[in-house]
Structures are given as structure tokens and as C-alpha cells.
Amino acid sequence: MLCKLFTLIGMLLLPIFLQKGFNSYATRATEFNWLMLFGLYASQIAITMFHELGHYYYYQKYITSNKFRFGFLLRYFFLFMFYTNVNFMDHLSKRKQLKIMIAGVQTQLIISGILCTVMLFKTSDFFLMLFFLNLLNIVINLVPFIKTDGYWIINLLIESEDYMLAFKKWIRRKNKSIKASELLLAMFNVVAITYVLINGLTQIIQIFF
């Protein structure tokens, strides 16, 4: 009940703190320092850990096995990332698989509600930035075009193991057919990636030339 309460609080107060954040950005009122940046980085690591623990909680709730694995790894020499090994998940019902997949975002919504509750009594640049970073992380995790939670959720909903892999096999003629939903999503994915690459390259050229 407490988790549901904080989730509801976060959703109800979202427009208020979004407006505060945009106002702060427009007036450039937020001041950064090294201590604040370190605090935000450390807090994001903690939130990522809780995100993966959300997956882990429901996974071990539905699967009886001694093969559970929750841990962390280091990428690019400085980026800490947590992971949950979800072997045997295919044996679960669609509803339980979906519950495991959205558990990470669900945990972040609870964290968002806690941050909003704190900011009702004490608003600060640090909490506001952490709120926005958490919100951005939620959005990224739900995007169905990169291999985050949203990617696997959309695969589950259209009953595909991996729509981009199916598309690649179809292009290479390893598979004779492809689902319409897989083809449509794959085409959107290719267009989105192409747009990001071209836009990024354009921005780099404008900066240097």
C-alpha cells in the first residue's frame, strides 16, 4: 500500500515539479558544483540498483531456482551498471513476464513519488535534478527501439522473441517470413536510429565548422 501511495503521489505531483524544473532551466537558476554532480552520479547508481532489484524481487517470487543472479559490472571504465539474470522466464505466463519486465520502472515510479513528497517540504536544486534524471531514466527504459525494458515489453506484447533479430534474419533471407508487427517496429527502429545519427553528425559538424 505504501508503494502504491508513493506511486500515486509521484503521478499527481508530476506536472507541478515538471513546471518548476522548466522554470529553473529557463531562468538558469540551477547552479552546479562538483559535490552536487558527484551526489547525482552516486544517486543514479543507487536508483539503478533499486531498478534491478525490482526485477529481481518479482523474478525470485515467480521462479523456484538456485540460479538467481543479481550483480553489477563496470562499462567504459567508469559506468557502473547493475543486472539481473532472468533465465527460465519464458516458462512463466505472459502476465508474470510483464510484471517482471515493468518492475524496474515501477520501482523508479515509487522513488519519484518519494522525491516529490520530500520536495513538498524542502525544494532544492539537487532533489529537482535527481527527480528529472530519474524521470529521464524511466522514459529511456520504456523506449521500444533500444534494448531496454521497453524493447522486451513490446516483444512480449507482439509475441516475438526479438523483432530486430527477426528483421535481420528476414533481410538476410534466413527466415522466409516475418510478422507485420515485427516489420513495422523494425522499420521505425531503423528510421529512428538513422535520424539520431544524422542529427548528431550535423550537430558535430556545426560545432567544429
CB 134 within 8 A of CB 141: no
Instruction: For residue 137, give the 3-state DSSP assignment.
Output: helix
- CA dihedral (196, 197, 200, 202) in degrees, to 10, reads -120
Q: Considering the entire predicted model, what is its pTM?
A: 0.80
Compute mean pLDDT per 10 residues along the chain, 209 residues long, and list them.
84 82 66 82 87 85 69 52 66 87 91 90 85 90 87 92 92 88 92 86 78
Instruction: For residue 17, give Cα distances in angstroms to 33, 118, 119.
Output: 22, 12, 9
- CA 71 to chain CA mean position, Å: 18
Domain boundaries, the chain: 2-157, 163-208
* Nearby residues of 106 by Cβ (< 8 Å), 6 or more positions away: 7, 54
Torsion angle of C-alpha atoms 105, 136, 32, 123, degrees rounded to 10 = -60
The pLDDT of residue 3: 82
Let me know the angle formed at the C-alpha of 80 by 77 and 84, rounded to the nearest 5 degrees: 130
pLDDT of 73 reads: 56
